[in-house]
């Protein structure tokens, strides 16, 4: 609880804040960021949010989302405090922002990744929290400020997203207790689910059809993969934002322990997402390639083509499985 007190003191003693989160922001990144934004605003602070990537369309139902500014909006109004959310290493907020968004007083890191480097001057890192949103919930509770419906909507979205709708192993008793409290604020859980997951475009489903053609597995079926190319995005009028959730189809194969989804970047390099079911620590695998994440969900960038990236990832995972 001391860490919570320290962070609240930092908030109390300063006036201007910038918030940021990781590239390709997801439900937890945005939910935690927007709830903290609203909390700090209610404390009478000056707060701005700078994100490298825009808010995906399916998250524009979140309150305050239009407060999020693009990286280029950041000029010279340096904040006293920079709070980096849901990112275990600073450059996850984007190469440019990580160099320009420099606070005059201190950096605060709030995160739950088990590969977190605690790069802040103050760190609130809880690797057993389901999500950064769960940590923000506790922080606001600790302060004694009511959560309220708007912040509840943001935080519930974050917990729902990071627990895979309460299916993954991070769906702890705490995650459920916090979710129950948030629901009690009057949010409609069915509407949150529909907004996040049931607003796909026809192009996204066509993209899924293309991507399914790339399905591959190792002979023992323990590792499965899919990849998506820029050509597929072009053909279906989609982008990287639309691949969210595709990887779950591979993980749902009975024999699969590790699922890989590799996405071709505009420059030809690869972005890999990794998921595991029960025993392989994919956070450790991603770290080998300079990425990170959690035991069951992680990611990294590899400066190779999709096919080459898959070969390297599969070899590394097989080695880990052999070593136990
Ligand atoms: P996703 O596959 O959904 O993009 O990410 C899964 C998890 O791994 C998330 O918690 C995310 O923060 C983390 N992750 C994904 N890509 C990277 C990366 O390139 N570097 C690091 N450090 N973490 C990543
Ligand atoms: Mn998260």
| Nearest Cα residue to 264 out of 311, 204, 308 | 308
The predicted-structure confidence for 245-270, as pLDDT tens digits, reads as follows 999 999 999 999 999 999 999 999 99
> Rounded to an integer, what distance in angstroms lies between the CA atom of residue 215 and that of residue 193?
27
> Rounded to an integer, what distance in angstroms lies between the CA atom of residue 308 and that of residue 287?
18
Residue of 161, 271, 293, 309 best suited for mutating to test ligand 1, as the one with most atoms within 8 Å of CB? 293
Question: Strands across the sheet with 216-217, in order?
Answer: 216-217, 223-228, 258-264, 270-276, 297-302, 292-293
Cβ atoms of 158 and 129 within 8 Å: the answer is no
Question: Of the residues 172, 197, 222, which one is the last residue of a structural domain?
Answer: 197
Query: Does pTM top 0.85 for this prediction?
Result: yes
Q: Does the pLDDT of residue 1 top 80, yes or no?
A: no
Question: Strands across the sheet with 16-21, in order?
Answer: 68-70, 46-51, 16-21, 81-85, 106-111, 122-125
| Sequential DSSP letters for 15-44 | -EEEEEE-SS--HHHHHHHHHHHHHHHHTT
**What's the rounded mean pLDDT across residues 211-231?**
98
**What's the rounded mean pLDDT across residues 290-313?**
97
Q: Does the pLDDT of residue 75 top 90, yes or no?
A: no
Same-domain pairing of 161 and 265 = no
**What's the rounded mean pLDDT across residues 61-65?**
98
Same-domain pairing of 161 and 218 = no
CATH number, domain of 9, equals 3.90.1640.10
Same-domain pairing of 44 and 170 = yes
Question: How many domains, the chain?
Answer: 2
294 lines ligand 1 (CB under 6 A): yes
Q: Does the pLDDT of residue 76 top 80, yes or no?
A: no
Q: Does the pLDDT of residue 241 top 90, yes or no?
A: no
Q: How confident is the model at residue 300 (pLDDT cuts 50, 70, 90)?
A: very high
Query: What SS3 class is residue 60?
Result: coil
**What's the rounded mean pLDDT across residues 35-59?**
97
Question: Of the residues 197, 231, 260, which one is the last residue of a structural domain?
Answer: 197
Same-domain pairing of 92 and 187 = yes
* pLDDT reported for residue 30: 98
Q: How confident is the model at residue 78 (pLDDT cuts 50, 70, 90)?
A: confident
* pLDDT reported for residue 108: 98
300 lines ligand 1 (CB under 6 A): yes
Would you state the structure tokens that stand for residue 312, as one six-digit string? 């390297």
In the numeric block, the tokens 């959690």 are attached to 294
Same-domain pairing of 161 and 258 = no
Query: What SS3 class is residue 116?
Result: coil
Same-domain pairing of 35 and 146 = yes
Cβ atoms of 261 and 225 within 8 Å: the answer is yes
Which ligand is in closest contact with the Cα of 130? 2
**What's the rounded mean pLDDT across residues 273-279?**
96
Same-domain pairing of 187 and 266 = no
Distance (angstroms) between ligand 1 centre and the Cα of 20 equals 16
Same-domain pairing of 107 and 172 = yes
273 lines ligand 1 (CB under 6 A): yes
* pLDDT reported for residue 74: 84
Residue 318, domain extent: 202-322
* pLDDT reported for residue 77: 72
Same-domain pairing of 101 and 238 = no
Question: Of the residues 180, 197, 214, which one is the last residue of a structural domain?
Answer: 197
Same-domain pairing of 156 and 139 = yes
Same-domain pairing of 26 and 170 = yes
**What's the rounded mean pLDDT across residues 223-244?**
96
Reading phi first (left if > 0) and then psi (alpha if -120 to 50, else beta), residue 24 is in left
Q: Give the percent of the chain with pLDDT over 90.
A: 96
Nearest CA to ligand 1 atom 6: 298
CATH number, domain of 312, equals 3.10.310.30
> Rounded to an integer, what distance in angstroms lies between the CA atom of residue 140 and that of residue 35?
9
The atom number, within ligand 1, closest to the CA of 26 reads 3
Residue 95 backbone dihedrals phi, psi, to 5 degrees: -55, -50
Same-domain pairing of 185 and 231 = no
The predicted-structure confidence for 118-155, as pLDDT tens digits, reads as follows 999 999 999 999 999 999 999 999 999 999 999 999 99
261 lines ligand 1 (CB under 6 A): no
Average pLDDT, the chain: 96
150 lines ligand 1 (CB under 6 A): no
């Amino acid at each position: 609880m001391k860490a919570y007190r320290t962070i609240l003191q930092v908030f109390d003693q300063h006036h201007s804040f910038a918030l940021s989160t990781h590239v390709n922001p997801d439900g937890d990144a945005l939910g935690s960021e927007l709830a903290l934004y609203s909390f700090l605003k209610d404390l009478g602070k000056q707060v701005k949010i700078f994100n490298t990537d825009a808010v995906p369309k399916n998250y524009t139902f979140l309150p305050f989302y239009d407060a999020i500014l693009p990286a280029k909006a950041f000029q010279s109004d340096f904040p006293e405090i920079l709070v980096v959310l849901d990112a275990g290493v600073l450059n996850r907020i984007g190469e440019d922002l990580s160099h320009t968004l420099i606070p005059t007083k201190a950096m605060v890191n709030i995160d739950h990744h088990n590969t977190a480097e605690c790069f802040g001057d103050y760190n609130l890192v809880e690797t057993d929290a389901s999500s950064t949103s769960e940590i923000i919930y506790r922080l606001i509770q600790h302060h004694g400020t009511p959560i309220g419906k708007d912040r509840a909507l943001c935080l519930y979205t974050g917990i729902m997203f990071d627990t895979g709708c309460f299916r993954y192993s991070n769906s702890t008793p705490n995650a459920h207790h916090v979710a129950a409290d948030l629901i009690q604020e009057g949010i409609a859980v069915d509407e949150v689910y529909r907004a996040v997951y049931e607003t796909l475009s026809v192009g996204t489903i066509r993209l899924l059809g293309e991507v399914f053609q790339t399905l591959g597995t190792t002979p023992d079926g323990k590792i499965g993969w899919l990849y998506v190319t820029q050509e597929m995005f072009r053909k279906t009028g989609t982008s990287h934002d639309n691949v969210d959730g595709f990887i779950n189809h591979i993980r749902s194969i009975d024999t699969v322990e590790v699922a890989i989804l590799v996405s071709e970047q505009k420059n030809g390099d690869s972005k890999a997402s990794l998921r595991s079911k029960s025993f392989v620590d994919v956070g450790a695998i991603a770290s080998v390639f300079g990425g990170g994440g959690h035991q069951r969900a992680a990611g990294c960038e590899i400066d190779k083509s999709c096919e080459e990236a898959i070969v390297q990832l599969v070899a590394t995972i097989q080695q880990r499985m052999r070593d136990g």
